[in-house]
Structure 1
Amino acid sequence: KNAFKSLFVDFLVATKSHSKGLKKVIEQIKKQERQTAKYTLCKKQLEAHGPALVICTNQRPTQAIAPILAAQDLGIPTAIFIFSWDNLPKATMVLETDYYFVWSDYMKTELQRYYPRIKDTQIFVTGTPQFEPHFDDTSIESRAAFCKKHRLDVAKKYICFSGDDVTTSPDDPQYLEDTAKAIRALNESGQNLGLIFRRCPVDFSDRYDATIHRYADIIKPIAPAWKPLGEVWNQVFPTREDMALLANTARHSELVINLGSSMVFDFVAHQKPCAFIHYDVSDKKQPDWSVEKIYQYVHFRSMPTKEAVLWINQPSEIGEIIKQAISLPKTTVGEAENWFKVINLLPPEKSSERIWEAIQKITSCTSDS
């Protein structure tokens, strides 16, 4: 079965990898979708409720084709929000809608580069709401309250290690251990540091357990407050509580360490630096995996300069990087802020308002026509 799928995909790539071929594939997808029970159900629901607009907050799931297509067949305007900064260069956009909400002018250019059929009038540059909690002081707790809630030592300075999913970083447990080992050495030389471990919200594995146990005096896990609504990674969703949790973690940590994550933007919102892991471990879980693969992804080209983050090129550098980040925290913050300006429209705390204004504009045009 899998072999047949691979051969069929190879056939499509060979025969349809041009604009006319892609158009035929899309038309065929729509034709097949209109014959499904889900499409029929979605169309009945939309006819019954008559919404002014149908929005999808993710441009990739095939499950969304039926409701979007049903809405379009009924003349109801549709829109999607490009939900992550790396989505456009890393994945095909499954859904075709009437309107698109994007993070920035940079993302708008990307969208039209990959999908030149999309016109300027279809795109609204809104920014993303995911960073708004960082600019809401009402969600920020005092350091004492944050430490008490999560059983942290208020006298310690904390480094945040932000985990990646197993596909992006199969050797993440070793990176966590290298960081914990460096912090233990710093403490033995007179520092008073701790390590907050925030795992990737969709990583439910036990792969970190042994490291956390070995370095229980250093590592303090604070689990993301995401809510699973299914069994797979794309059925786990953030809660309002987690937005505040992440904002407070960034506010009360000295820096964040991770492998190429957008957490750099969460932390720069609090004027905190980020260090990117940039080395392969000696005993790799997957021999053909490398950090170089991660940093060659197209979305990293949005980085104005390499000085937007600190680079950890080998385990022996972690201690010095941490000391530098604590003593000179602003070294990379200015360039990181410039990077943030590229990938997200400012002011970031107004993204939801801009999305609502775009919705009002779309629906008012529809009602007037």
Structure 2
Amino acid sequence: MTPNNKIVILLPDGIGLRNFAYSDFQAIGVQENFEVVFWNNTPFDLTQLGFKEIKIQNSKSHPLTETYKNARKQIELNLNIRRTKDSVYNTYRFPFSYATTLKALKSGVTQFLSITHSSTFGLKRIRHKIKQEERKTLYYHQCLETLQKEQPAMVFCTNQRPMTAIAPLLAAQELGIPTATFIFSWDNLPKATMVVETDYYFVWSDLMKKELLFYYPYIKEEQIFVTGTPQFESHFDTNKLLSKEVFFEQNDLDLNKKYICYSGDDVTTCPDDPKYLEDVAKAIRELNQKGHSLGIVFRRCPVDFSNRYDEVLENYKDVITPIAPLWKKIGDGWNTVLPTQADIDIQMNTIAHTELVVNLGSSMVFDYVAHNKSCAFINYDVATKKISDWSVKKIYNYVHFRSMPNKDTVLWIDSPEAIAGIIEKAIASNSLVIENAQKWFEIINQHPPQEASKRIWEGIKTIISKE
């Protein structure tokens, strides 16, 4: 009897495209004699990449699932505060909306459930309710039909957060097909973003494994595979690197200048981002007056289509050149803005051809250290804040920053006046900061980083041989 080698990769939303469709993940699976089929809930046509896909036609969750999911998050954050005596978990809550009667009703029910179910037993009941409601949907029954027809050896979900992943995974479990999910981002577990429950979990690092066991005590150690993330693999693929001349010509950059990258944040993470960009632009002008020849490449956050930077870009066009991310906007929500293969290449070349990155606390620190370059974190509040109770302190207090090996892992920009000096220092030499950032990268993501996809396939092999 031939062994079943069909692996279904569930793409509940576009977030997984970058890691699993635009990396070597699929090619490695095929090399390992797997039949790789994408169960695709994104608007992208993966057959254009030569992949086998099953399109999900009707990914409609039960009307009550969203409320139960939101209550689950609130309850998990309540329990985390209780267990750790640490109020940082309050900062992961989103404000409730009362904009319409329906939103007000949902908010009220969510709050009621989170007050009445904030115990381990209460959480268990909510988790059970989510499964119960999802099993009643047409979507769930269509998923059962698809899986009965496809008969895969395993279903692997690319992201633990979307509600649209619940029904397909429940259907697989109903049919005795092993399931796994990949934890998508380095900051996800403390934020209580787990929506699905699978037989196995794939994580970035030993640190993330510890977090998973801590925040989700019902998960056992033998259910977890430490693999790293395919997110950083592209940085080690030198075939995609353009020469400096070609990259500069394509993007209207001046070959006589050295560039730093300003990497923008979304409006929620950093409402004052345009002001920070302006402060950096002023510092670059100041350095150029001293005889330097510098410029800024501005890469905005891919899900930020606002016009909030327009004025700064216009006023400082002598020093700022925007290179827009090549993402496609297919709908209205932030999760309908989807990455493209071309954007991975442009991001990697931007990093290769700039000296360092400046931003507010993003994982770009790891993208840059993969190229042996440093990162400067903005660490001051502007005088006239867009939102009065927003502060950089809130950002750097998040749990994922506690994994930093020491303060000299990035360059800290503590005031606008300090920017010029820090950029000058970074361009001259920065070996200690780069060394520490590399240590942080090793804590955050299993090394060598370029072998994450291989390790994921090894994990899949282990699971199906067990089953």
TM-score tier after normalising by the smaller chain length: over 0.9
Q: Which moved more, 1:237-246 or 1:342-351?
A: 237-246
Task: From 401, 408, 419, give the equivalent of 1:307.
Answer: 408
2:319 equivalent in structure 1? 218
1:35 equivalent in structure 2? 136
Which aligned pairs between 1:2-17 and structure 2 lie closer than 5 A?
2-17=103-118
> 1:15: how far off?
2.2
1:199 lines up with 2:305 in the alignment: no
Task: From 69, 76, 85, give the equivalent of 2:170.
Answer: 69
> Structure 2: how far apart are the matches of 1:213 and 1:46?
54
Instruction: Give CA-to-partner distance per residue, 1:128-150, whole Å, 9 cap, x none.
Output: 01101111111112111111111
> Structure 1: how far apart are the matches of 2:447 and 2:404?
17
Instruction: Give CA-to-partner distance per residue, 1:175-231, whole Å, 9 cap, x none.
Output: 111111110111112110010000111111111111101111111111112233432
> Structure 1: how far apart are the matches of 2:144 and 2:438?
45
> Structure 2: how far apart are the matches of 1:92 and 1:270?
30
2:28 equivalent in structure 1? none
Counterpart AA for 1:240: Q
Task: From 418, 427, 444, give the equivalent of 1:317.
Answer: 418
Q: Which moved more, 1:13-22 or 1:248-257?
A: 13-22
Which sections of structure 2, spanning at least 5 residues, go unmatched? 1-100
1:175 equivalent in structure 2? 276
Which sections of structure 1, spanning at least 5 residues, go unmatched? none
> 1:3: how far off?
3.4
> Structure 2: how far apart are the matches of 1:160 and 1:51?
44
> Structure 2: how far apart are the matches of 1:282 and 1:251?
34
1:49 equivalent in structure 2? 150
> Structure 1: how far apart are the matches of 2:165 and 2:392?
33
1:241 equivalent in structure 2? 342
2:362 equivalent in structure 1? 261
1:118 equivalent in structure 2? 219
Among the aligned pairs, what percent are the same residue?
Answer: 60
> Structure 2: how far apart are the matches of 1:325 and 1:123?
39
> Structure 2: how far apart are the matches of 1:229 and 1:114?
34
1:103 lines up with 2:191 in the alignment: no
Counterpart AA for 2:235: H
1:209 lines up with 2:306 in the alignment: no
Instruction: Give CA-to-partner distance per residue, 1:221-271, whole Å, 9 cap, x none.
Output: 111122334321122232222222222111111110000000000001111
2:451 equivalent in structure 1? 350
Two-structure CA RMSD over aligned residues (Å) = 1.2
The number of aligned residues is 366
2:98 equivalent in structure 1? none
Counterpart AA for 1:167: T
1:148 lines up with 2:269 in the alignment: no
Q: Which moved more, 1:54-63 or 1:196-205?
A: 54-63
Instruction: Give CA-to-partner distance per residue, 1:89-121, whole Å, 9 cap, x none.
Output: 123311100111100000000000000111111
Counterpart AA for 1:212: L
1:328 lines up with 2:432 in the alignment: no
> Structure 1: how far apart are the matches of 2:378 and 2:275?
11
> Structure 1: how far apart are the matches of 2:129 and 2:450?
41
Instruction: Give CA-to-partner distance per residue, 1:57-85, whole Å, 9 cap, x none.
Output: 11111111111111111111111111110
Instruction: Give CA-to-partner distance per residue, 1:20-40, whole Å, 9 cap, x none.
Output: 111111111111111111111
